[in-house]
Structure 1
């Protein structure tokens, strides 16, 4: 999709607001057993004991605290976050840096708290140091994981790029501030199905060709295995708890949305063939990783839908019963987000359509 922000993201591949909350520079450390002992997350994180590190958009952390205040320990110069207490958003943190952000004035009692990373900042590593309680309060046992798990794989359309914007014309700064993966079609669909989820989306990246042919030495598949996107060779270590029953793949817009430029090694035919070959290999990788019981849903739209459908058809013919094709219905979408991306309204419509489609699939929940 055309955007200066996508170009910034491709190049990277080679303050507090709302509701009268306050910020404080330091707080008591979370439980000595480590942050992961007190919070639930389904995202790809690197566990360093006292902090959890991560890069993908939409990563969320859930905890429980007793008392009249809760602190959120962060070290992040680039990403934005929403803080939710008992289901309501009480603060948005804009590139908070190294801080403990306090939410005060809560009723005295037990509260659920959720922190979610809104935007995609693949050039930067984010760190979360846990939730802390004010004096007299306590951090309680972490919430239970959900039995359903869904992984969403994609580009800026899946990341929620500029979906809260009031205009299609956006500066880089506006894209950062108006991107919210927590209201993307993936996050919305997962919450409707009461599922934990990952949004493993990277703006500007394609299956074999990135937006406008940028950074040809890499593509989405270069980064897929990582927890920390800006660390070459990094590999996410699955703690054994991530076993998605459904994986949704929506990649191809960047491969085909812009004309092949002089100097690129493609013709229309060779690009299509390379895309189909890489897509087939990627589905095989997912099948090997997750086993025969996971449903793989390959999304096709626009000019690349036929290629995706062909790959799925061939895989089904070879005996894979749990790979399916979904032709994304873009009827009625306003594309009013930054640079003609999905708006928040579009994401709600797509979540409606995807949820309805999933109801007809034999997913082994």
Structure 2
């Protein structure tokens, strides 16, 4: 796939207007606030000369905070905390002079709120060139977001939920880097196919078409911006959840789950008619629930393949069970590395 060239480069060689950037993931351009980074791991790249560049980033919540993270010359660096009261630009420094490439990622998910990029300053700034690498879209829940995975800065049980988010280290981006593909994450913590971890709605089928995955949002996502070769769907963990212990939780309904799943795959296929659809189970669902989930996914696969005989056949992958080491029962950064390594042969085969 050929990445879309979205905008033109700013005429000022010492600044790069956000509208010049090629953004991979869900985003919005606002004339007043600039580029809004919305979805998990939404990212863009640029290059500069010298040893330093700076990024003007902000959030709308003056009492809140959010996180970016970045890669310099192919090496992951760290997360960057953006506070609502901060007015200083982010400084990125290279150890040596010369030409350098930076990739900026949003570390948190859409429901954490957008991060606005007003401008980038530096010498001889240029957006990263287009690439013909294929694209994978990873649809999922908190696991796909990389939520609760990184307690290196804020220990589990402390701070706010998004303080342990690390989308860059989630299994999807790891798979993409290992295979040399592009990626976008369409994921929401706690979300399910027909019910969420402690509520009946809004579920992924209800919010997938919204740019920010908010059911009451008026902003619709433009699916024409990207054409993924593979769409990976990893939902079900929250459908099987026992809930929060407060709201009444009915037993898992296999029929409802399958029917909603089939309709959702039909929705995805309507957006990407030529994409290979892959249904992933959950490494966090074990015991009898694991067997039920796998049977449900096989049924979804058979029904879709039966109704679309001329299309690429739906693929399924069943994770090996895992005992997670992250916060609140989630995979840790190290666990995500294991999940990615497990998935690479599966996706490599699909990309052929």
Shorter-chain TM-score: what band? 0.7 to 0.9
Among 274, 280, 283, the residue aligned to 1:299: 280
Number of aligned pairs? 323
Tell me which moved more, 63-72 or 93-102. Answer: 93-102
Question: Is the counterpart of residue 128 in structure 1 residue 117 in structure 2?
Answer: yes
Question: Is the counterpart of residue 323 in structure 1 residue 314 in structure 2?
Answer: yes
Question: Is the counterpart of residue 162 in structure 1 residue 148 in structure 2?
Answer: yes
For the residue of structure 1 that corresponds to 2:238, the secondary structure is helix
Distance 1:358 1:104 in 2: 35
For the residue of structure 1 that corresponds to 2:239, the secondary structure is helix
Question: Is the counterpart of residue 93 in structure 1 residue 76 in structure 2?
Answer: no
Residue 7 of structure 1 corresponds to which residue in structure 2? none
**Deviation, structure 1 residue 68:** 2.4
Among 191, 200, 224, the residue aligned to 2:208: 224
Distance 1:85 1:260 in 2: 41
Structure 1: stretches of 5+ with no match in the other structure: 1-27
TM alignment of 1:191-230, pairs within 5 A: 191-212=177-198, 214=199, 216-230=200-214
Distance 1:259 1:92 in 2: 31
**Deviation, structure 1 residue 260:** 9.8
TM alignment of 1:27-38, pairs within 5 A: 30-31=15-16, 34-37=17-20
Structure 2: stretches of 5+ with no match in the other structure: 1-12
Question: Is the counterpart of residue 102 in structure 1 residue 91 in structure 2?
Answer: yes
Alpha-carbon spacing, 1:172–1:204, altered in 2? closer, same or farther (3 Å): farther
TM alignment of 1:109-120, pairs within 5 A: 109-120=98-109
For the residue of structure 2 that corresponds to 1:255, the secondary structure is coil
RMSD: 2.8
Contact kept, 8 Å, 2:70 with 2:79, in 1: the verdict is yes
Residue 279 of structure 1 corresponds to which residue in structure 2? 261
Alpha-carbon spacing, 1:68–1:326, altered in 2? closer, same or farther (3 Å): same
**Deviation, structure 1 residue 123:** 4.6
Tell me which moved more, 280-289 or 54-63. Answer: 54-63
Please list the CA deviations of residues 114-168 of structure 1 after superposition, one character each: whole Å capped at 9, or x if unmatched. Answer: 11111225152221224221xxx2212433234210000000111112212379x
Question: Is the counterpart of residue 59 in structure 1 residue 10 in structure 2?
Answer: no
Distance 1:141 1:217 in 2: 39
Among 199, 219, 241, the residue aligned to 1:234: 219
